């Protein structure tokens, strides 16, 4: 599965207005670790379809959203619930670690 690209223009509608929690990956084309975790994020999107939406924002092309959420390094992932960021993950990690952190973030 290819993750949906979200832009500054549609972030509010697609993420803040979503009816399920959303994991947003802030990434850039030049970011090696971002490409490393892409397959894990795609698998998580498939496995958690309906309960969690996984999208990505290109930080270079969408500086307003990246700045708004103080994204300083890539990849940065934010979990939004009811339009509010509730958990932040920085840096690449294995899928098992992502799953553990997501379970924790989504439980509360």
DSSP code at position 48: T
Nearest to 78 by CA among 93, 60, 50, 56: 56
Q: Which of 15, 34, 45, 74 is catalytic?
A: 34
Q: Which of 31, 45, 98, 102 is catalytic?
A: 31
Known catalytic membership, residue 14:
no
Q: How do strand 53-58 and strand 22-27 relate by DSSP bridges? A: parallel
Which segments of the chain are extended strands (E)? Answer: 4-5, 22-27, 53-58, 76-81, 84-90
Known catalytic membership, residue 73:
no
Contact at 8 Å (CB) between 106 and 79? Answer: yes
User: What are the residue numbers of the active site?
Assistant: 31, 34
């Amino acid at each position: 599965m290819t993750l949906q690209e979200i832009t500054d223009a549609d972030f509010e509608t697609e993420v803040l207005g979503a009816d399920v929690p959303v994991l947003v990956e802030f990434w850039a084309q030049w970011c090696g670790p971002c490409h490393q975790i892409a397959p894990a994020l795609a698998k998580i999107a498939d496995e958690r379809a309906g309960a969690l939406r996984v999208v990505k924002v290109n930080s270079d092309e969408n500086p307003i959203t990246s700045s708004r959420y103080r994204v300083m390094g890539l990849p940065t992932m934010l979990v939004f619930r009811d339009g509010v960021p509730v958990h932040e993950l920085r840096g690449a990690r294995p899928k098992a670690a992502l799953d553990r952190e997501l379970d924790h973030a989504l439980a509360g």
